[in-house]
Amino acid sequence: MKKVSLNLIVGVILFVIVVVTAIFAPLIATHDPILDANLMYAEEPPSKMFLLGTDEQGRDIFSRIVYGARISLMIGLVVQMMNTFIGVSLGLSAGYVGGWWDEIVMGMTGLILSIPTVVFALALMSVLGPGIGSLLIALGMTDWAYSCRISRAQVLSLKSQNYIQASYTLGFGNLHIMFKELLPNMIGPIIVIATMGIGSAIMAEAALSFLGLGVVPPAPSWGAMLAKAREQLLFSPWLSVFPGLAIFITVLGFNLLGDGLRDFLDPHGKAKKT
């Protein structure tokens, strides 16, 4: 039995915390993140009434961070599902078909990798406009290159295996070989890169929201909260510290989870007998 790494344990714990927070946000939050605004309590420091203080409109920061987990997790999951679908589809077909199609796909992949994700997404968002729908489209079309390259490399490695050659001999069609023989044996690396990609998508969403092109206020987005807090960084540091910690912990959790899964699913990893 393989030894479970510390990265995997910590990653799973942080992942569970974020998911539970997002699902049970109405039960965890102490105030309404949007409607409970009172200028009488604007920029209050952390206290018993407001656990993490309040923002410039008197809204509870703790409640906004809790509800912000829903937005970040939803965007991260949907964006990475889109990226994984595009990347795996292109990588699987390019590695299997080869020839001119492989050259076209690799050319597109190289173009995507040459442009930073946030810069590419900014260009699309400037056309589409702010909002969650535009954000999903922009991020979902700009970060599939890693999934594509890994999928293609896996296909090229698996094509020479005996069971694939046996499938050719038995007369199975191309679609059967691609989706019944190759794809199931690529699941491990795909899961790893997708898990790490969720953290990247959350970071990209926070960056775009920070620039005013992401989630539209007053929705509780961590990036938008940081953008508002920069004006009061010296006088009200809790406005930026806690949303920043939320982003840091969430992204760290997904990165550790992906790193731990990579070690756990590695077929060449050392096994430990118990």
For residue 272, tell me if it sits in a domain: no
Distance CA 117, CA 110 (A): 13
Distance CA 241, CA 243 (A): 6
For residue 274, tell me if it sits in a domain: no
Residue 123's pLDDT is 85
The total of structural domains in the chain comes to 1
Which burial class, exposed, middle or buried, applies to 173 when counting CB atoms under 10 A from its CB (0-12, 13-18, 19+)? exposed
For residue 99, tell me if it sits in a domain: yes
- Which tokens go with 188? 């491990």
Residue 60: strand, helix, or coil: strand
By residue range, what is the domain housing residue 229?
6-265
For residue 273, tell me if it sits in a domain: no
Which burial class, exposed, middle or buried, applies to 92 when counting CB atoms under 10 A from its CB (0-12, 13-18, 19+)? buried
What angle, 0 to 180 degrees and rounded to 10, lies between the N-to-C axes of helices 6-23 and 238-265?
Answer: 130
For residue 31, tell me if it sits in a domain: yes
For the whole model, what pTM was predicted?
A: 0.85
Write out the chain's pLDDT in tens, 274 residues.
567 788 889 999 999 999 999 999 999 998 998 888 888 988 889 998 899 999 888 999 999 999 999 999 999 999 999 999 999 999 999 998 888 999 999 999 998 888 888 888 888 888 888 788 888 888 888 889 889 999 999 898 888 788 887 887 777 788 888 888 888 888 888 888 899 889 889 998 888 888 888 888 788 889 888 888 887 877 888 898 999 999 999 999 999 998 888 888 765 554 443 3
Rg (CA), the chain: 22
Residues 6+ apart with CB under 8 A from 178: 92, 93, 96
Residue 1's pLDDT is 58
Report the CATH number that the domain containing residue 99 is assigned in CATH: 1.10.3720.10
Residues 6+ apart with CB under 8 A from 222: 65, 68, 71, 72, 206, 209, 243, 246, 247
For residue 167, tell me if it sits in a domain: yes
For residue 138, tell me if it sits in a domain: yes
* Residue 2: φ, ψ to 5°: -70, 145
For residue 78, tell me if it sits in a domain: yes
